[in-house]
Amino acid sequence: MTTDIWLDTDPGFDDWMAWALLQAEPGLRLAGVSVVAGNAPLRHTLANALRIQALHGWTQPVHAGCERPLVQAPVTAQDVLGETAMATTGRALPQAQAQAAPGHGVQALVKAARARPGRLTLLALGPLTNVAAAFDAAPDLPGLLQAIVLMGGSTDRGNTTAVAEFNIHADPEAAARVFGAGVPLVMFGLNVCRQVLVGEEHVRAVRAIGTDRAELFADHLDAYVGIARRRGAAHMAVYDPTPVAWLARPDLFTLEPARVDVELDGRLTRGMTVCEFRVPSRARPNARVALAADGPAVMAWALQGLARALS
Ligand code: BDR
Ligand code: CA
């Protein structure tokens, strides 16, 4: 069985890894891509997306999406990920001549969903601005999507703040809109992504693929693992590829239904995903939340996919 996917993303190295794994998975078919501001301003995330697409020779349309959050001022992760959010310890992704596909990413997503009623899964790997804007633009969209699978939030600790994860922190109003949309949601938060770890051994395994593309990818993976090295740790959590792993290998994960609400007002807690697992007794569930992953098995699957994507 094939699952049709729309990818909404803010590359970002881990977005690249997720996209490559998606393209390498036989049961997943990518319909198109919308890019959003997040890890860096849109001019960088879009340029990164076009470079990734050109490097791999992928042909699906890549559309520019929203440049700023629905309400608040833009925030990025450039302090951690560098100016372009695509740090490398060796070569950089080559520049691409290609332009973004015509049409705004939000409209392109809506069009793709209308063309596949009930059959499109939206994979959201950045702030949820494009997705929320699509719901506002097309009131029929919630009824058209099969599911939204997203990397964002946390059942426990945050990363950008003590309790908020970056993708939700970067546009909490959009996240609240999406969690309230009534679409079947599957949430991969920090709590589960921190169970999937990448380190030097994976950088070496990617280099051992032996192609020029693998070398280039390994240079960026090495910089990503370098974020952990700078913090005195050997391994970095694997964020955006984790929901792709679930789409391909749900047997490696444990999920539970929950009511997830996004805190918009808290002085200390804005952007927190408040997860009520006592459903349906205390609240109506609106999501399935990933709680456990077999991290080593996910990484073994990922290395196999990367070998295909980078050959
Ligand atoms: C999320 O934020 C971004 O920096 C990553 O690409 C990922 O989507 C992790 O908090
Ligand atoms: Ca991302």
Residue ranges covered by each domain of the chain: 3-309
pLDDT category, 267, cuts 50, 70, 90? very high
Angle at 57 between CA 55 and CA 58, to 5 degrees: 115
- What mean pLDDT do residues 241-260 have? 98
- What mean pLDDT do residues 238-256 have? 98
Q: Which atom of ligand 1 sits closest to the CA of residue 170?
A: 2
Residue 196 near residue 107 (C-beta atoms within 8 A): no
Q: What is the pTM of this model?
A: 0.98
pLDDT tens digits, one per residue of 72-85: 999 999 999 999 99
Q: How far apart are CA 47 and CA 55, in angstroms?
A: 12
Q: Which residues line ligand 1 (CB under 6 A)?
A: 12, 14-15, 39, 77, 125-126, 151, 159, 165-167, 239-240
Q: What is the mean pLDDT of the chain?
A: 98
Residue 38 near residue 74 (C-beta atoms within 8 A): no
Q: State the DSSP code for 164.
A: B
Q: Please state the separation of Cα 226 from the chain's center in Å.
A: 20
Q: How far apart are CA 127 and CA 139, in angstroms?
A: 20
Q: Where would I find the beta strands (DSSP E) of the chain?
A: 3-9, 28-35, 62-64, 120-124, 145-151, 185-188, 197-198, 236-237, 253-262, 273-276, 287-293
Q: How far apart are CA 226 and CA 88, in angstroms?
A: 9
Q: From the CA of 126, how far away is ligand 1's center (Å)?
A: 7
Given a cut of 90, whether residue 46 has pLDDT beyond it is: yes
Q: From the CA of 11, how far away is ligand 2's center (Å)?
A: 6
Q: Which atom of ligand 1 sits closest to the CA of residue 160?
A: 10
Class of CATH domain 3-309: alpha beta
**Which ligand number lies closest to the CA of residue 13?**
1
pLDDT category, 86, cuts 50, 70, 90? very high
pLDDT category, 272, cuts 50, 70, 90? very high
End-to-end distance of the chain based on CA atoms, in angstroms? Answer: 25
Residue 94: both structure tokens together: 């080559």
Residue 120 near residue 95 (C-beta atoms within 8 A): no
pLDDT tens digits, one per residue of 278-306: 999 999 999 999 999 999 999 999 999 99
Given a cut of 90, whether residue 1 has pLDDT beyond it is: no
Q: How far apart are CA 33 and CA 106, in angstroms?
A: 10
pLDDT category, 153, cuts 50, 70, 90? very high
Q: From the CA of 281, how far away is ligand 2's center (Å)?
A: 34
Q: From the CA of 280, how far away is ligand 2's center (Å)?
A: 31
Gyration radius (Cα) of the chain, Å? 18
pLDDT tens digits, one per residue of 184-232: 999 999 999 999 999 999 999 999 999 999 999 999 999 999 999 999 9
